[in-house]
Amino acid sequence: MTNRMISVQSPIIPVVGELIHNSPGTISLGQGVVSYSPPPEAIEMLPKFLADPANNLYKAVEGIPPLLNTLTEKLSTFNKIEITADNCIVVTAGSNMAFMNAILAITSPGDEIILNTPYYFNHEMAIAMAGCRAVLVETDENYQLRPEAIAQAITPKTRAVVTISPNNPTGVVYPQDLLNKVNQICGDRGIYHISDEAYEYFTYDGVKHVSPASFPGNSEYTISLFSLSKAYGFASWRIGYMVIPKHLLVSIRKVQDTILICPPVVSQYAALGALQAKPEYLRANIGAIAQVRQIVLDYLNQLQGLCTITPADGAFYFFLKVYTQMNAFELVKLLIQEYKVAVIPGTTFGMEQGCYLRVAYGALQKDTVKEGMERLVKGINQTLKTLPASKEA
């Protein structure tokens, strides 16, 4: 293994996937995907792609014009982000690629990026791969941002603060006032605010998603990341996009042309179709996930006294603090091997002190979620009865 990669954590999803493979019949509450397929409008675009032989050639580094135009409209109507002379859209191979583009464009080796814990593990991995350092700032007891702590963590080497809302892994949605404070800190201190919004459509109980790039006067330093993977059932199609300050376009073109040349054009056509899906497509599918979420919550409430279940109004995750001194990965292994239910250990998200588990419910139907949650509740109940408890909050 090269020196560059030694410090990078191994992605947890394949590790848990191998444990699931070795324990047939396991229900996965692990990977963050949805169960539904792309809308028919996406599939209907594929013959149009195939009909033009020129589509087999390389296309523009930042995306095909029809998709960029459609995204401009979507950003204006849903996110209240206007594309002007000061910013622009770059289509990417998923929002993980968008994040890597941003990090390589704004940093030099040794620079610092502030992550709020628990963080999304691929963000931390990308920062390490770029030869930079993730500076970790704890969120509060409800996993909400702490702007004062973020401000205190900024040093001359800081290049950006990263926020994720709705959040992976906690499911919390950051309110406008907190996002505004963080965005203003970034503007005042001359650093970037990277806003990951992959779960923008997944909010519940009347909670609204807010895009920091919609705040006035911040287009010089706000980088917004979006994805079709979740909302449109597009995980393997690898299409995301970013809204960036115009002054970063030359750098980001260099990164994207080197790694990718251009986003997969067949997937861009499918994305163009998906974005023209009827509103009922998202409403029905996210409504079904909301029903599954309520079932998950009802089961988790049976664990009161054994876990902290933090309220979460977004994405499709809950992040549990389990009152045990047991190592989180050992608990995950035990739940898979003994109870045939899989979750993700909190250590993957930077939570080294205490035992945390991420429960993902986006891929489950009503029947499987009940069985999966019964196994999880039973597994945690029975395991904790045989172990010394640890009730620190």
pLDDT > 70 in the chain, percent: 98
Averaged over 310-318, what is the pLDDT? 95
Tell whether the model's pLDDT for residue 300 goes beyond 90.
yes
Stretch(es) of the chain classified as CATH 3.90.1150.10 = 3-30+279-384
Quick one: what percent of the chain has pLDDT higher than 90? 90
**What local confidence, expressed as pLDDT, does residue 367 receive?**
82
pLDDT of residue 390: 54
Question: Rounded distance, CA 119 to CA 349, Å?
Answer: 5
Percent of the chain as helix, strand, coil, to the nearest 5: 45, 15, 35
Q: In the chain, which residue ranges form alpha helices assigned H by DSSP?
A: 3-6, 12-21, 40-44, 46-51, 65-74, 94-106, 121-129, 147-153, 176-189, 249-259, 265-274, 279-300, 328-339, 366-385
pLDDT of residue 116: 98
Q: Quick one: average pLDDT of 226-251? A: 96
Contacts 24+ apart (CB under 8 A), 304-312: 306/380, 306/381, 306/384, 307/380, 308/393, 310/141, 310/142, 310/143, 310/170, 310/172, 311/142, 311/172, 312/143, 312/167, 312/170, 312/171, 312/172, 312/173
Residue 352 near residue 205 (C-beta atoms within 8 A)? no
**Which pTM was predicted?**
0.95
* Statement: residue 51 has pLDDT above 80: yes
Q: Which amino acid is at 257?
A: D
User: Cα(174)–Cα(339) distance, rounded to whole angstroms?
Assistant: 34
- Residue 393's pLDDT band (boundaries 50, 70, 90)? very low
Cis, bond preceding 11 (omega within 30 deg of 0): no
- According to CATH, the topology of domain 3-30+279-384 is Aspartate Aminotransferase, domain 1 (3.90.1150)
Instruction: Write down the pLDDT at residue 15.
Output: 86
Interior/surface letters 126-153, b for 16+ CB within 10 angstroms, e for the rest = bbbebebbbbebebeeebbbbbeebbeb
31 by Cβ neighbours in 10 Å (0-12 / 13-18 / 19+) ranks as middle
How many other C-beta atoms can be found within 10 angstroms of the C-beta atom of residue 299? 17
* 50, pLDDT greater than 60: yes
Bridge partner list, 89: 243
pLDDT in tens, 303-312: 999 999 998 9
Q: Contact at 8 Å (CB) between 155 and 137?
A: no
What tokens does 372 get? Answer: 């999966």
Closest among 35, 37, 45, 36 to 276, alpha carbons compared: 45
**How many CA atoms lie within 13 Å of 145's alpha carbon, on the beta-carbon side?**
26
The residue with greater pLDDT, 388 or 225, is 225
| Confidence check: pLDDT of 315 > 70 | yes
CATH class of the domain whose range is 40-274: alpha beta
pLDDT digits (tens, 9 = 90+) for 266-292: 999 999 999 999 999 999 999 999 999
- Do the beta carbons of residue 241 and residue 78 sit within 8 Å? no
Task: State the span(s) of the chain assigned CATH 3.40.640.10.
Answer: 40-274
Within a 13 Å sphere around the CA of 348, how many CA atoms are in the beta-carbon half? 25
Judge contact between 97 and 118, C-beta under 8 A.
no
Residue 362: C-alpha distances to residues 18, 188, 292 (Å): 20, 38, 8
- Which carries the bigger pLDDT value, residue 21 or residue 146? 146
pLDDT digits (tens, 9 = 90+) for 9-47: 887 888 888 999 999 999 999 888 899 999 999 999 999
Token output for 228: 């079709």
Instruction: Summarize the confidence of residues 208-230 as an average pLDDT.
Output: 96
**Per-residue model confidence (pLDDT) at position 173:** 98
| pLDDT at res. 389 | 53
Look at residue 1 and tell me whether its pLDDT is greater than 90. Answer: no
